[in-house]
Amino acid sequence: MSRQQLPVVVIGAGPVGLAAAAHLAARGIELRVLETGPAAASAVREWSHVRLFSTWGELTDPAAEKLLAPTGWTAPDATRHPTGGAWAEQYLQPLADALGDRIRYNTRVTGVSRTGRDRTVDADRETQPFVLHLTTADGREERMLARAVIDASGTWTTPNPAGADGLPARGETAAADHLTHRVPDLRDPAVRARYAGRRTAVIGTGASAFTALATLADIAEAEPGTHAVWVLRRGLGGATFGGGEADQLPARGALGLAAKAAVDNGYAEAVTGFRTGAIERDTDGRLVLVGEDGRRLDPVDEVIVLTGFRPDHSLLSEIRLRLDERLQAPVELAPLIDPNQHSCGTVPPHGHRELSHPEPGVYLVGMKSYGRAPSFLAMTGYEQVRSVAAAIAGDTESADRVELTLPETGVCGGAGLFDDPAGAQADGGGCCAPAPALVPLGAGVPAAVVAEDASTGGRCDS
């Protein structure tokens, strides 16, 4: 089989990975999607309880809609805001079903290389197909050849630590039984019992942190003794709680106002300028956060760490990537998404050229392409893979053409209030990810994703 007859392999069946598959299929390109989980959008399902700021109209891809049309799929109301669970069940899984056996589940990619060439070998490198090393759920090892590789695996599995220096704080690993790096589903009785009547530290300054503060405040109204300690690395300022009533995204503004109310009403206290250096055990087993400046906070029972996500490039260790030294994003893309300069609404549309690497035929897309920058949009990811699919097909004119106009508001999706009619519209659906929602998400805010400070951001779709 010639190299051109080999499939293009997409790693990850999340929102952007499935969109990539839809665009490849529309061009008649043989493809395979490899998904670690047992179903599509596995990361998104882990924050299924979180509502997106983005509407349905901003969360579906045009090529995907065309693929779904013959199946009888009906697009949800474009003006409504789904939860992660609704996004997965009403759009992402049907899209995966339409792709059929081109998707393999329960298959983990452990490495990617050139056949017979490690990253040091130049000879005939670009003529060799890619080889992906796979591990199946039952432990079997396999190999798969590919003409190109699109890595849409996201960042959901690699959250940032509580430690302010980017490494786990001293004692953080030992305290893992009382830490979570996700927005907890406090509607679940078992999860609620973990926080009700207890003192919880929330580390982070983005929409995911707002969500945690607002829901802990709801519990505090019914469960005396419930209290949150909001740990911020920066000080409180006019923009700390977002745009409030002036926010052009009402759901996002309502969430910031709810977090502010939690502080104003005494259900949460803010500790500013605190950079966590250690997490110690008190004599009664509770946790004590110790700042790098020596400050010690009063003991807490639980810690919710919502400090964003980072990419894991280990599976591409034999591939020649060119990444920005700060953001770990492709070097041509990095200045366009630098969180010191841009929010999600000011990131320009971009495609295959910004996503290319010295290794031709390899592309990082979706949340993974943004590295440590948190300002990812689903619409931007869909434009990425449209351009990449065109480039792989040899349609350079289409690949270079911008086919995306972002909303003037700079829509940034992410964690919303759980089924609160004041914060989001109910739609009967079920994150950071973590995308225009910011994938969380993922999915990938949580796949969930939100525009937040790069050092403390969360994500709700990817």
Tokens linked to 132: 């992906």
- Predicted confidence at residue 343, as pLDDT, reads 62
- Predicted confidence at residue 340, as pLDDT, reads 76
- Predicted confidence at residue 251, as pLDDT, reads 54
User: Which residues on neighbouring strands pair with residue 149, listed in sequence order?
Assistant: 9, 362
Q: Decide: 85 and 288 in contact? Cβ < 8 Å.
A: no
- Predicted confidence at residue 207, as pLDDT, reads 78
Tokens linked to 129: 């197909």
Within 10 Å of residue 443's Cβ, how many Cβ atoms?
44
- Predicted confidence at residue 298, as pLDDT, reads 97
Spans in the chain with pLDDT lower than 50: 246-250, 408-462
The torsion angles phi and psi of 320, rounded to 5 degrees, stand at -85, 100
- Predicted confidence at residue 252, as pLDDT, reads 55
- Predicted confidence at residue 191, as pLDDT, reads 95
Distance separating alpha carbons of residues 31 and 25, to the nearest angstrom: 7
Interval 290-309: pLDDT, tens: 999 999 999 999 999 999 99
Q: What angle do CA 50, 56, 57 make, to 5 degrees?
A: 150
Distance separating alpha carbons of residues 292 and 460, to the nearest angstrom: 29
CA proximity to 11, closest of 121, 110, 153, 139 = 153
- Predicted confidence at residue 240, as pLDDT, reads 62
- Predicted confidence at residue 406, as pLDDT, reads 59
DSSP letter string, 239-280: TTTTTGGG-SSHHHHHHHHHHHHHHHTTSEEEE-S--EEEEE
Q: Decide: 91 and 67 in contact? Cβ < 8 Å.
A: no
CA proximity to 59, closest of 438, 428, 347 = 438
Tokens linked to 182: 């996700």
The model carries a pTM of 0.86
Angle between the N-to-C axes of helices 250-264 and 207-222, in degrees from 0 to 180, rounded to the nearest 10: 50
- Predicted confidence at residue 256, as pLDDT, reads 72
